[in-house]
Structure 1
Amino acid sequence: MLIDDKLLNSLEKLSALKINDNKKDTIKKQLSEIVSFVEILNDLDFEKNNITLNSTKNGVTPLREDIPSQNKEVVEIILKNTPYKENHSFVVPKIIE
């Protein structure tokens, strides 16, 4: 895929970036190379090679069990450094009404 001026201008607007005119040719070339490289992925045969697309088994990601623990010494050390605390928690300003 060739990146032309029209596409580059659209990408520039979407990304809210300003590309200097003297760098546009370099950027177009680099983006074209990136897109060409990614297009190679379209040629891969996933059925033939039995490639795994995700590491989950039966749609469930293997995670460790979440076991809550509270080390009161660590909590006290952390809370010692804040000026606003209450009931072993940080006190912050309300931002949602």
Structure 2
Amino acid sequence: MTIDNTTIDKLAKLSSLTIEDDRKEALGKELEDIVTFVENLNEIDVSHVDATFTTIEGGQPLREDNSCKEDGLRDRIMNNAPKSADNHFIVPTIIE
């Protein structure tokens, strides 16, 4: 798979990153290597492996799902968001 500048620009927009023009060629090559590696995983025979697997004896420990209301928590979270307005996260448009 070839990763061109158009693809890198789209990925940069979706991830809210700024990628310098002189870095795009090297980044494209790195991404191509990653995609090639992942495509190689499709060749591994996993027919003998169960669909779910854990190394934790007795399964995954769970915790109670309790809600809490902490003063200022929402404001602290929103202050760490790259973009927000009216207590909502602003994300890049992915469907045009």
Bin the TM-score by the shorter chain: 0.5 to 0.7
Unmatched tracts of structure 2, length 5 or more: 64-68, 75-96
Q: Pick from 54, 59, 63 the counterpart of residue 62 of structure 1.
A: 59
Alignment of 1:29 with 2:29, yes or no, is: yes
2:18 partner SS: coil
Query: Which has the higher relative contact order, 1 or 2, with Cα contacts under 8 A spaced 6 or more apart?
Result: 2
| Count of residue correspondences | 66
Unmatched tracts of structure 1, length 5 or more: 67-90
Letter in 2 for 1:42: N
State the match for 1:51 in structure 2.
49
2:27 and 2:72 map into 1 onto residues whose CA distance is 45
Larger Rg: 1
Q: TM-score, normalised by structure 2?
A: 0.55
Q: Deviations over 1:21-79 (max 9, x none)?
A: 111111000000011001001112222xx1244225xxxx714597xxxxxxxxxxxxx
Q: TM-score, normalised by structure 1?
A: 0.55
State the match for 2:20 in structure 1.
20
Letter in 2 for 1:54: T
State the match for 1:79 in structure 2.
none
Q: 1:92 to 1:36 in 2, by over 3 A?
A: closer
Q: 1:25 to 1:45 in 2, by over 3 A?
A: same
Q: 1:17 to 1:63 in 2, by over 3 A?
A: closer
2:60 and 2:36 map into 1 onto residues whose CA distance is 36
RMSD: 2.9
1:10 Cα deviation from its structure 2 partner: 0.8
Q: 1:20 to 1:52 in 2, by over 3 A?
A: same
2:7 and 2:62 map into 1 onto residues whose CA distance is 47
